[in-house]
């Protein structure tokens, strides 16, 4: 009874965290679906043998008997330094903590059919600088928050083959802050904030195949999710000169297409107590070609002038994440895990900005699992090493300095609790 109450308490905590933000993902995609998955990665896409299969490969829930629930979160704290071309170091990045959550429920309906539902975040972004830092005219704070509800149905064709499909409903919230250089108007810098939200939907499909007892393979696809974001522009100094300046509070909207994803993995049970898995994640970031904001009236000031539309070119690239993971079952209660991933960044040099100062990264992970009777606790730690990005050209119209990103890193701590009813 105590452990069942613990499972319910963990679920409540996860729902409380469900609008948390993350930072420094591939673009702003998140792949942290569980503590175990944070280490094993694509190997879990193939084996998919716990409730986080709803996230990694829903076809795998056909292996789960009865009713099972998992809940948890990944705590993330990033850090990066911006160094200008004259050697000045801008150490104004604030090291915050972000807590993307996960929660899953699976149920066996009969010998052929299973159902499952997940609550998780596949996209998130959080960066914050000192509001007075030199790059403030591009960005000094940015947050993207999402929460996704994903029901699935899975069908077991045979002991070797299973399929699944589902529908995703995603809530999206955007909050961007920067400074406007309005000193020439006699008011100093003006705070500019764009805040909006929306709902979107997408589909997913998955397959798991076991050609022999010691090999599992899996592929999972999630469609792009289109969001029509509506919100408000808020400014600290409202300035209006007809035909010349119009910096005032107003409504705004824009469209954002979040990318398709494909997860593919293979897992080898090389011994009864040892498995090795790996694979790739593919994210179609070419869907993010521009950030376009539509104002409900002309907005702006010289020298750019006033317009009802603001368009910023993004032209992001499609990217891969390559993963490998090892799990060793030490004894009936304890598992040890090690993992590595190489993650590509989608932002090209000529459009990258301070909303997401990012680059390719290495990810080194370790973790353990403790399971007894009908419950389990999983823990993971990941160190992310972000490769320096050099020679970012100045783009004064967008507030970008000639600079480079260096000394980037992040710490990720995952915790998941599973209960089998």
Q: What is the pLDDT of residue 322?
A: 97
pLDDT tens per residue across span 107-124: 999 999 999 999 999 999
Which of 246, 253, 128, 230 shows the shortest CA–CA distance to 178?
A: 128
Q: What is the pLDDT of residue 417?
A: 97
C-alpha to C-alpha distance for 141 and 401, rounded to whole angstroms:
17
Give bridge partners of residue 273 from the DSSP assignment: none
- Give φ, ψ of 62 to 5 degrees: -70, -5
Number of domains in the chain: 1
Looking at 157-249, which runs of residues are DSSP E strands? 161-180, 190-212, 215-222, 225-235, 239-241, 245-247
Which residues of the chain, if any, have pLDDT below 50? 2, 6-15
Report the sign of the C-alpha dihedral through residues 172, 354, 285, 44, in that order: negative
Which of 191, 295, 181, 198 shows the shortest CA–CA distance to 238?
A: 191
Helices (H), 17-66: 35-40, 42-47, 53-56
C-alpha to C-alpha distance for 382 and 370, rounded to whole angstroms:
18
CATH code for the domain in which residue 282 is found: 2.40.160.60
CA 24 from centre of chain:
8
Q: What is the pLDDT of residue 8?
A: 47
Asked whether 408 and 359 are in contact (CB, 8 A), the reply is: yes
Domain that holds residue 339: 2-420
């Amino acid at each position: 009874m105590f452990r069942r109450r613990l499972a319910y308490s963990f679920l409540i905590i996860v729902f409380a965290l469900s609008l948390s933000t993350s930072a420094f993902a591939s673009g702003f995609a998140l792949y942290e679906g569980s503590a175990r998955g944070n280490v094993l990665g694509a190997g879990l896409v193939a084996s998919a043998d716990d409730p986080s299969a709803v996230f990694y490969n829903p076809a795998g829930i056909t292996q789960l008997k009865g009713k099972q629930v998992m809940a948890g979160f990944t705590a993330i704290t990033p850090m990066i330094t911006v160094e200008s071309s004259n050697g000045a170091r801008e150490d104004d990045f604030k090291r915050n903590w972000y807590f993307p959550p996960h929660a899953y429920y699976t149920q066996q309906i009969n010998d052929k059919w299973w159902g499952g539902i997940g609550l998780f975040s596949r996209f998130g972004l959080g960066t914050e600088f000192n509001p007075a830092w030199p790059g403030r005219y591009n960005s000094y704070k940015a947050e993207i928050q999402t929460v996704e509800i994903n029901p699935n149905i899975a069908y077991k064709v045979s002991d070797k083959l299973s399929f699944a499909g589902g529908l995703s409903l995603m809530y999206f919230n955007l909050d961007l802050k920067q400074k406007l250089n309005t000193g020439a108007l006699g008011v100093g810098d003006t705070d500019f904030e764009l805040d909006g939200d929306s709902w979107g939907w997408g589909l997913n499909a998955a397959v798991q195949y076991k050609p022999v007892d010691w090999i599992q393979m899996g592929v999972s696809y999630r469609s792009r999710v289109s969001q029509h974001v509506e919100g408000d522009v808020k400014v600290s100094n409202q300035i209006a000169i007809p035909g010349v300046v119009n910096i005032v509070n107003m409504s705004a909207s824009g469209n954002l297409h979040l990318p398709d994803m494909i997860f593919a993995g293979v897992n080898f049970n090389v011994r009864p107590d040892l498995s090795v898995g790996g694979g790739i994640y593919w994210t179609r970031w070419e869907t993010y070609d521009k950030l376009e904001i539509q104002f409900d009236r002309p907005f702006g000031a010289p020298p750019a002038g006033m317009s009802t539309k603001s368009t910023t070119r993004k032209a992001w690239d499609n990217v891969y994440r390559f993963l490998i993971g090892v799990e060793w079952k030490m004894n009936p209660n304890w598992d040890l895990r090690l993992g590595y991933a190489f993650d590509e960044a989608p932002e090209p040099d000529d459009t990258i900005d301070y909303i997401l100062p990012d680059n390719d990264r290495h990810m080194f992970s370790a973790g353990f699992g403790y399971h007894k009777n009908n419950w389990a606790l999983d823990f993971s730690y990941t160190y992310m090493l972000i490769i320096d990005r050099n020679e970012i050209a100045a783009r004064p119209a967008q507030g970008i300095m000639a600079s480079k990103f260096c000394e980037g890193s992040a710490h990720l701590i995952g915790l998941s609790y599973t209960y089998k009813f």
